[in-house]
Chain A
Amino acid sequence: MIRATIRRILPQLVILALVLGLNFAMFPGFFHLEMHNGRLFGNIIDVLNRGAPVALLSVGMTLVIATRGIDLSVGAVMAITGAVAASVVTEGGSWIMALLAALGAGALCGIWNGFLVAVLRIQPIVATLVLMVAGRGIAQLLTKGAILTFNDPGLIRLGGGTILSVPTPIWIWVTLAVVVGLVVRRTALGLLIEATGINERSARLAGINAKVLLIAVYLVTGLCAALAGIVVTGDIRGADANNAGLWMELDAILAVVIGGNSLLGGRFSITASLLGALIIQSVNSAILLSGMPVEFNLVIKAIIIIAILVIQSPRVKHSIYLLRASSGPVLARRAVAAKGAVGEDHP
């Protein structure tokens, strides 16, 4: 069981180790940690902290993609939930009320997407496009177009504070990942999600309530986006409807894909997606530390994605399989089979 898990995430671990090693090579102090005013500092902490929003999103996105879906709206949902949280505290509410309101807004967005996908049976990419386009407008409506700043210490601590010297966002994404991971793997949910993603028809005939399951998965994704929205809002002490979570859905999808999860649904690994998110963040960090102009960040990211995608493409996988087979015993067996066939042809 544990062995299988490690084998599953091994490629991502290797890539992450490589990228971190690269960081270390360029900046020997990369793994150095120090305490300062009761807060841990260090580049590795930065990677974990800065990677929090994408990590949070990738948890939900993994589940959605496992069902053969996709959620383009998570970035916009982050903006909405950030705006909701900020409006609650600026209206005098407590940070707990803000948190609950934001989670509620995220849940609503998720249910809307799930309704479009599961009940109206609109293609997920189209269904979530609606909220992707309109969501940011709704967020701006809530903030009246301005950056809604606040001083509520509770909300700020969620994005920029620490617990036991470790930045709160790290706690949040690790906790969420553990909770969601445990829930899907310790209950039957993970299995049922995978079954639905692989073969919805078989799954339905086997008695799985695919409709409700799909809505639930989009709901979870909405909640993840809400948490990510709060983290970003707390971090910058304000809700920036224009830029909060901008293009983060693409990073989240990328994290899931780098995590080796197929866009065609089925088997998923949340751990691998999280490693994907950390890989993305480490690449950013490496480029920063290398002293290379930041401008190269995107080019390198694009090249890495293309490389990973090409390796994962069905055509390439198949050729690799053929290549391996041609040197192994499979071919020998085939040759025998072919001979047998010819033999029967001319008895």
Chain B
Amino acid sequence: MRHSTRLPLYITIVTFFVAYAACIFQFPNMLSSRVVANLLTDNAFLGITAVGMTFVILSGGIDLSVGSVIAFTGVFLAVILRDTSIHPLAAFAIVLVITTVFGAAMGAIIYYLEMPPFIVTLAGMFLMRGLAYVLSTESVPITHEFYGWLQSLYWKAPGGGRFRITGLLMVLSFVAAAIALHRTRFGRNVYALGGSAQTAQLMGVPCARTTISIYAVSGGLAGLAGIVYSLYTSAGYSLATVGTELDAIAAVVIGGTLLSGGSGFVAGTFFGIMIMGLIQTYIVFDGTLSSWWTKIVIGGLLFTFIMLQKGLAWATTARIPRANVSAARS
């Protein structure tokens, strides 16, 4: 029955490769290191955000604030680099602390005031977007030389693909998250909370600490995504990344994680992101298709994966065998 939890993951991975193969069949040019490198670079900030979202959703929650946190981070960095002389690395550290504390505060409100995550993070979304506006309503360019240096770091693969440091950061986030989720007690507690918060409490899971940490991770990763986004655009703009939370949630669900929590893999989220990126790349290559097809296809994929999960759940409950008893008796 391990298969029943991994099945959605495998389906996502197979979907990605089949879709990629189909794309290559139609546009042989899509088989290039350039396309792969762009998939990683263009989706780096979304991927990092989706990693945090995976933690939150696995625990049975949701975080609507991440898009605003990214915008806030970008504006904060741009303003602080424009108005002060502190080094970008120090600015990165400050902004990561702010976003992590912000996430932890939301987690604490959710746990201690017993309020639905949806509403709490909705308020957080308004607050962060508002703070970004307060800092600047204009798009603020970032011209620091350190930025230029970071952006000039890439590995040029044969075929012309430029693998940048942001893509590497995303991949590292996924690897770190996978290790944290599967190989640490904190990670298993995240799954336990998603299974049933009440039972987890009875089994001795430190629910307060875990809930706060989960939202802190999500906030911190959204901050990291904000840094990546500012590297990507060389600017901070308070109207940027509106709706990123939706894309992140969609990637998590397409990646095979159950929105009600407790089941899923961060690797699935990676391929969810890649599928969404692939759709966009395909539309660019095609040239005649319009961008709205992205949304429709992603909506369709969402529905398909939700129904798949539902079907699997039905199949599993119907199949729980009493026969196991005789098999197990020794």
Contacts and interface: CB of A to CB of B under 8 A. Distances in A.
B134 A299 contact: yes
Given A137-B292, A300-B130, A120 B298 contact: no
B258 to A, nearest CB: 9
Interface in A301-347: 301-303, 305-306, 309-310, 313-316
B246 A132 contact: yes
B112 A315 contact: yes
Interface residues of B, number: 46
A298 B131 CA distance: 8
Contacts of A126: 253, 259-260, 306
A135 interface: yes
A257 interface: yes
Contact of A130 (B113, B126, B294, B302): B302
A313 B112 CA distance: 10
A310 B113 contact: yes
A296 B119 contact: no
A236 to B, nearest CB: 19
B148 interface: no
Contacts of A302: 123-124, 126-127, 130
Nearest to B127: A302
B296 A137 contact: yes
Nearest to A127: B306
Contacts of A309: 113, 115, 119-120, 123
B131 A130 contact: no
Interface residues of A, number: 49
A120 B306 CA distance: 11
A127 B310 CA distance: 12
A95 to B, nearest CB: 26
A133 B299 CA distance: 5
Interface string A247-259: 1001001100100
A141 interface: yes
Contacts of A139: 292
A133 B298 contact: yes
A130 B306 contact: yes
A145 B291 contact: yes
Interface string B216-258: 0000000000000000000000100010001001100100000
B285 interface: no
The majority secondary structure among interface residues of chain A is helix
B299 A137 contact: yes
Given A122-B310, A126-B306, A130-B306, A301 B115 contact: no
A298 B292 contact: no
B130 A133 contact: no
B116 interface: yes
B298 A295 contact: no
A310 B109 CA distance: 9
B154 interface: no
A241 to B, nearest CB: 8
Interface in B243-299: 246, 249-250, 253, 259-260, 290-299
Contact of B290 (A125, A144, A315): A144
Nearest to A316: B113
Contact of A134 (B238, B291, B298): B298
A141 B130 CA distance: 32
Given A129-B302, A133-B246, A301 B134 contact: no
A303 B303 CA distance: 35
Interface string A232-246: 000000000100001
B123 A306 contact: yes
B134 A315 contact: no
Interface string A102-132: 0000000000000000001011011101111
B134 A130 contact: no
A145 B290 contact: yes
A299 B125 CA distance: 10
Contact of B133 (A129, A140, A295, A315): A295
B246 A305 contact: no
A137 B117 CA distance: 27
10 contacts: A126-B259, A127-B306, A129-B246, A133-B299, A134-B296, A144-B290, A294-B133, A295-B134, A298-B127, A309-B120
Given A137-B296, A137-B298, 18 more contacts: A126-B253, A130-B302, A130-B306, A133-B250, A134-B296, A137-B293, A141-B293, A250-B125, A294-B137, A295-B134, A297-B133, A298-B130, A299-B130, A300-B130, A301-B126, A305-B126, A309-B120, A315-B113
The 7 closest A-B pairs by CB, nearest first: A134-B299, A137-B295, A298-B130, A299-B130, A140-B292, A295-B133, A302-B127
Interface of A: 70, 120, 122-123, 125-127, 129-141, 144-145, 241, 246-247, 250, 253-254, 257, 263, 293-303, 305-306, 309-310, 313-316
